[in-house]
Structure 1
Amino acid sequence: MRIIRVLFVLTMCVLAKNAVATEIYVRADSLLSAGDTLFVSLPGQEDLDFIAMETRCAMPSADIRRHRHVWWSMLWDDVGGECGVTVDFDMGEMLEGVDAPAAIVSLWRGGEMLSSAVVSSGFDFSGRWNSVSVEWSAGRMNVYVGDRLLAGCLSVEMPQPRCRRFGVTASDKVHVDEMMAETEPDPYVMLQTEWTAEKIVAEFDRPDGIWPGSLEGQWVYLDRDTDTDKALPGGEYRLAIVRSGSGYDILYMEGARTCASEWKCGMLKGRLMPTAFDGHFLLEWYDAEGYPAGRENYATLENPSLLSMSFPLLDSMLRFSRCSRAGSSGRRISHDVIK
């Protein structure tokens, strides 16, 4: 068994809590003997929403002219045991020019075969390069194979693996050209905070209060001016804005329509950072699917009760009004029941 280290990691997108989506590319250029395993380590991140792995190999003995029965596998570790996809070339009885070559692609876990398919086209049967790719998303795993273009051959229900490495092994000599992997954190998990409805109300009802003119407080959707070809509103949100460091966190409270089941009170909906201009803030906003909503966004406190959020690249704007009542101290807070 040989283990190689990751040669190149490209950070594609930074999400909340410093979580990152990563793309790993390894130019292996290795020749494995029968029984050898070449492993690549994966980044240690929990709560991955999407993961994909791909290998490209050439097996000289997987040639119909050699009449051999050989195989190579892409494998990965998981809490339920080792898993893998095996490409089985059984050409011992085949005659070149008479029999149509085929390979059996099988998915297995812990030594038990879960599913298989016969591949006879779009695959090389002369000992040259073929690729295997696996992708997980929304509780489903898809397997793709091919020599030049990848085509789907298996699709099964399978939970996201908790793998920390993946590799290649074979029954005979195999050339490993490339190994690739992509990971993406679950954005909704990354947007969770320690805030609850009760903590938010208590924050705005504290003795020192939230004074008129402050950005902090509860805000409710008022209206919009949006280009529906570029952006659609995810709901009529109620938000809470709380101070965080040198800026402010925007917390979701209620009102989501798109992906409504994913949003819980207290999750992070965005951030505001002051600029050199009074009442003007740089805006970081997370869309209904939990991803950053582009660049160059900003917010303006038009007056103590009106906040506008602008998305120039989307030709869109949302406006929010303050949920308020005037108390004896002049504080502006809302004690509405929070769902």
Structure 2
Amino acid sequence: MRGLSVFVLSLLTALAVSGSRRTYLPEINLCDSSVVLPSWPVKSTRGLIEVRGALKKDRDVAGESSTWWEINLGAGYRVTLRSYNPSFASLVDERLSRVTLYRGDSIIARTDMSKGFAPQANAFNTLIVELDSLGNIAVAGGTRIPEAVFAVNVSRNLLHESPSVKSCGCLDISNLFVESDQSISRKLMTDWTEENLREHIKSSRNPVEGVYEYLDRNNDPHYARLGGRYLIAVVSDGSSGYDIIYIDGARTNESSWTTGMLKGHLEPVKMLVDQFYLVWYDALGEKMTEDIDASIEQNAILTFRFPLYKTVIRFLKRPLK
């Protein structure tokens, strides 16, 4: 067998769904080698690896084939796909696809699939491994429509590990991506609490900083729906701008929002007094940056403008008791 080589590929990253990030890797051929996958983002709650590959050689032999491939999850956990013939050259000769979850050399879960996979050379099969921060691992796959294979709990969060794909033999990979989720609260949580916000604003002499409550809106509901009647705080980011901190008032996706989460950011527009570039996180945690802005009038009225969504929202500074 040739020495094991490791390839680190250039990546193409794209957002998948709300809170999800999907990273595609280019097609590659592995021969007794492995490819290192992107590390899971910090605070990931879910991860998914999908690989579609075909072994160039996969001879039908008694027992397990000498060629195979696997998704390595780290910490000794790996999911292998391997041809298996328990009755080679007999009247009931049947070639199966064996999917196994190992920890080191110990078998955690195993299923021999007689249908769904194509256990032949040059036949493409998809293997999907989904895992979460609670230690749940679900495996699916097939040559056409992926089917569930098994699901187990290993009582370990593998989203802190470095995943990879490895081949024993030559493997053509036609599709490979990694997807991860972060909960909104974990992604946007800051160190601010209601108590330290209050103490900070009490001692602040910056006229922009303060607690602002929902005042009113001018909104076309055909273009946008108000996520709540927010109570927010505006505090310095330690540089030239200001962080917008959520305190209360969410209605859409209410359970995902807690006091102290980042709701947006204000960056002053040079040469224009009390005018700001706006970054805003909507009710689903999606970041909005384009064609939106903010302003403050009379050191009391904070206005957010979303012209493409035909929406203007105003907030009034609340005196601290």
**Cα deviation, residue 85, structure 1:** 1.6
Alignment partner of 1:295: what SS? Answer: coil
Paired residue type of 1:297 = I
**In the alignment, is residue 31 of structure 1 matched against residue 31 of structure 2?**
yes
Tell me what 1:144 maps to: 140
Tell me what 2:306 maps to: 311
**In the alignment, is residue 40 of structure 1 matched against residue 36 of structure 2?**
yes
**In the alignment, is residue 193 of structure 1 matched against residue 190 of structure 2?**
yes
Q: Bigger CA drift: 261-270 or 234-243?
A: 261-270
The residue correspondences of 1:9-158 to structure 2 (distance < 5 A) are: 9-12=11-14, 21=21, 23-32=23-32, 37-40=33-36, 42-43=38-39, 45-60=41-56, 62=58, 69-70=64-65, 72-78=68-74, 81-93=75-87, 101-128=95-122, 129-137=124-132, 139=134, 140-157=136-153
Q: 1:318 to 1:44 in 2, by over 3 A?
A: same
The residue correspondences of 1:184-223 to structure 2 (distance < 5 A) are: 187-206=184-203, 209-210=205-206, 214-223=207-216
For 1:310-339, what per-residue CA distance to the aligned partner results, in whole angstroms no more than 9, with x for missing partners?
Answer: 333434333322212xxxxxxxxx13xxxx
Tell me what 1:5 maps to: 7
Q: 1:50 to 1:231 in 2, by over 3 A?
A: farther
The answer for unaligned runs of 5 or more in structure 1 is 14-19, 325-333
* Distance in 2 between residues matched to 1:225 and 1:102, nearest whole Å: 63
* Distance in 2 between residues matched to 1:305 and 1:263, nearest whole Å: 25
TM value normalised by structure 1: 0.74
* Distance in 1 between residues matched to 2:209 and 2:295, nearest whole Å: 13
Tell me what 2:235 maps to: 242
* Distance in 1 between residues matched to 2:233 and 2:114, nearest whole Å: 58
The answer for unaligned runs of 5 or more in structure 2 is none
**Cα deviation, residue 39, structure 1:** 4.2
Residues 55 and 74 in structure 1, CA contact (< 8 A), matched pair in contact too: no
Q: 1:121 to 1:97 in 2, by over 3 A?
A: farther
Alignment partner of 1:5: what SS? Answer: strand
**Cα deviation, residue 219, structure 1:** 0.5
TM value normalised by structure 2: 0.77
* Distance in 2 between residues matched to 1:296 and 1:138, nearest whole Å: 36
Alignment partner of 2:39: what SS? Answer: coil
Alignment partner of 1:2: what SS? Answer: coil
Residues 61 and 68 in structure 1, CA contact (< 8 A), matched pair in contact too: no
* Distance in 2 between residues matched to 1:8 and 1:217, nearest whole Å: 44
Paired residue type of 2:194 = A
Residues 235 and 255 in structure 1, CA contact (< 8 A), matched pair in contact too: yes
Select which of 160, 163, 172 maps to 1:162: 160
Aligned identity (percent) is 26
* Distance in 1 between residues matched to 2:218 and 2:100, nearest whole Å: 52
* Distance in 2 between residues matched to 1:313 and 1:225, nearest whole Å: 13
**Cα deviation, residue 127, structure 1:** 1.4
Aligned length: 307
Paired residue type of 1:289 = L
**Cα deviation, residue 235, structure 1:** 3.0
For 1:247-303, what per-residue CA distance to the aligned partner results, in whole angstroms no more than 9, with x for missing partners?
Answer: 211011222344445433332210012225444322111123333136322223355
**Cα deviation, residue 221, structure 1:** 1.8
Q: 1:225 to 1:121 in 2, by over 3 A?
A: farther
Alignment partner of 2:197: what SS? Answer: helix
* Distance in 2 between residues matched to 1:317 and 1:136, nearest whole Å: 41
Residues 193 and 266 in structure 1, CA contact (< 8 A), matched pair in contact too: yes
* Distance in 1 between residues matched to 2:90 and 2:232, nearest whole Å: 69
Paired residue type of 1:90 = Y
